[in-house]
Amino acid sequence: MGMKGGKAGLAYHLRAIHDRLYGVYGDCTCPLEHADAFQLLVAVMLSAQCRDDRVNQVTKVLFAAAPDAPAMARMPVERIEEIVQPCGLHKAKSRNIQAAAQMICGTFGSVPRTMEELTRLPGIGRKSANVILGNVFGIPGFPVDTHVRRLLNRLGAVSTQDPEKIEAVVNGLVPCELWTNFSHLLITHGRRVCHAGRPRCGECVLSDLCSKKGVR
């Protein structure tokens, strides 16, 4: 998995990707609007197969009605469904949101700060947990979403679609203080330039680093 040149070559390649993107986008912030860890957790759950701007519209209404875990735990699941319906998969997401809120109140007391505990919550996998850890608690994490997976494969940094394997490669070769923003940088570039269907290779600052240009 990865490019030729061994670990040192791959580490150099990844750092070059990071540095080029950082030169364009700089320090990024999480596009999901939130006031605290619980609100980000809910927003991340709603963001599955849904655009961030739509999630932000929905969470304004949802958090006005239930701004914290105790309030969300008490809210009837039918009311949650009604509010989050525009995000899609609203029945499953609503059940997970309510169940996670109840578990936070009953088991943890607050939103947990470890990967192991976060992934015990309904609807929270490694990617979502890394978003919460990195963006709220300042604990380094490298979320791997569809953009990250697509870009790192196109750039020849990895040759796997397995998010956990991609996360392990980056975590093993990139300094931990860069992980959270590196994910943001890749996601931003994936949305703006390196699209899934028609990547704008002629405008890409990574074009000379890319081993597999075009659709893949």
The pLDDT tens digits of the residues spanning 39-85 come to 999 999 999 889 999 999 999 999 999 999 999 999 999 999 999 99
DSSP 78: H
Question: Do the domain assignments include residue 215?
Answer: no
- pTM for this model (two decimals): 0.88
CA 216/CA 213 separation, integer angstroms = 8
Which CA distances in Å does 98 have to 9, 58, 129?
46, 16, 17
Decide which of 83, 108, 135 is a domain's last residue: 135
Domain range for 102: 37-135
**Cβ neighbours for 210, distance < 8 A, ≥ 6 positions apart:** 154, 155, 156, 201, 204
pLDDT in tens, 152-193: 999 999 999 999 999 999 999 999 999 999 999 999 999 999
| 146 and 198 inside one domain | yes
* 144: amino acid identity, one letter: V
Catalytic residue numbers read 127, 145
| Under 8 Å between Cβ of 65 and 83 | yes
